[in-house]
Amino acid sequence: MKERFCTVPPALLWATVLLSSLPGTAHLGPQTPTSVFGSPFPIGLAKAAAQESGVSGAPRPAPGLHLVDAGTPQGLQELFAPGPDALPLVSAHRGGAAKGFPENCIATFEQTLRHSWSMLEIDLRYTKDHVLVLNHDPTLERTTNGTGRVADHTLEELKQLRLKDREGNLTEHRMPTLDEAMEWARGKAILVLDKKEVPVPDVVRKIEEHRAEAYAMVMAYSFEEVAQCHALNKDIMMEIMVGNRQRLEAFDKTGVPWRQTIVFVGHTPPQDAGLCELIHAKGARCMAGTSRNIDLRFLRGQASGMASLEPDYRALLKLGVDVIETDIPCQVGPLLYAGQPVPASKAKYFRK
């Protein structure tokens, strides 16, 4: 009988050796929670190295991406600090699905970043065995070839399913875990975590496990959740909802610094023309969504092309909106920022 051999990637071998050399960890497997210098390290060095080597569920990043790397939590706050210059950023709603590229999929994130610098808004769900995965709906029918609730399936079962693209066609892509997405995003992109029904403490814990305060934000649905998140970890930035002056005054009462937020002002242009200016004065940038209006005109073929929609997108910028959350980031990003240099004050955070 022939002997069978396998090649171990050098990075994985190094990580395994290092992990086994740590005091008290010789018995631990690569996915067993442990600690290094007192900080959480739940995914294990071996798993992290495997992801970098392309041997785990998270693929290697492709070349030619528009990368955003704040470096530190303070760097992330500085990146979004208001200033006179526009940022070369859109926010890709559900990652920016397109033909052949499903929503909430790492391959789709890379496709988005090939076209523009972009934040990536992603959606969290728990599996039956309590693993966080990316899926917008509580059920599987629209986004996969599976049926039933995400929460009624184990991760192993969900990994057998194939994801559908924006047109409903099956692809070869599989549902990623939040762990895979967060390890992929390190040094590459800013994630906005739409937690759905996941409790705030669970999302904060996952960010801390990955030491991701420099590139992962929590979408807080209420000011109570804002205060809860800030109490748990004061380094984490949040996306908050402030659509009018009454909400602005209510947020002031939370005591949470504005610099730790990006402010979603609505899915339609702000009716209060001075709202964004007030938010800027508080120390935060503004975001508005176009997935329910302008984007649809493009997706439904109701516009002759993106050039005809450019005035509508730019009208949001004139109102003081800094970041546009869109379903079509591959079209909107290049349209808004073609030929526009990265502001010198922010240049250290952007790479191509």
- Residues marked active site are found at 93, 136
What's the number of CA atoms in the CB half-sphere (13 Å) around residue 110?
13
CB atoms within 10 A of CB 249: 11
**Cβ density class 277-316: b for 16+ within 10 Å, e for less:** ebbbebebbbbbbbbeebbeebeeeeeeeeeebeeebeeb
DSSP per-residue letters across 257-307: -GGGEEEEEESS--SSTTHHHHHHHHT-EEEEE-TTTHHHHHHTT-SS-HH
- Cα 47 to Cα 36: distance, rounded to the nearest angstrom: 15
CB atoms within 10 A of CB 123: 23
Phi and psi at residue 40, in whole multiples of 5°?
-60, 140
**Helix (H) or strand (E) segment spanning residue 203:** helix 200-209
- Cα 179 to Cα 134: distance, rounded to the nearest angstrom: 10
Q: Of 231, 125, 247, 248, whose CA–CA distance to 177 is shortest? A: 125
Distances (CA, A) of 282 to 2, 236, 256: 70, 18, 11
CA dihedral 218, 332, 297, 164 (to 10 degrees): -60
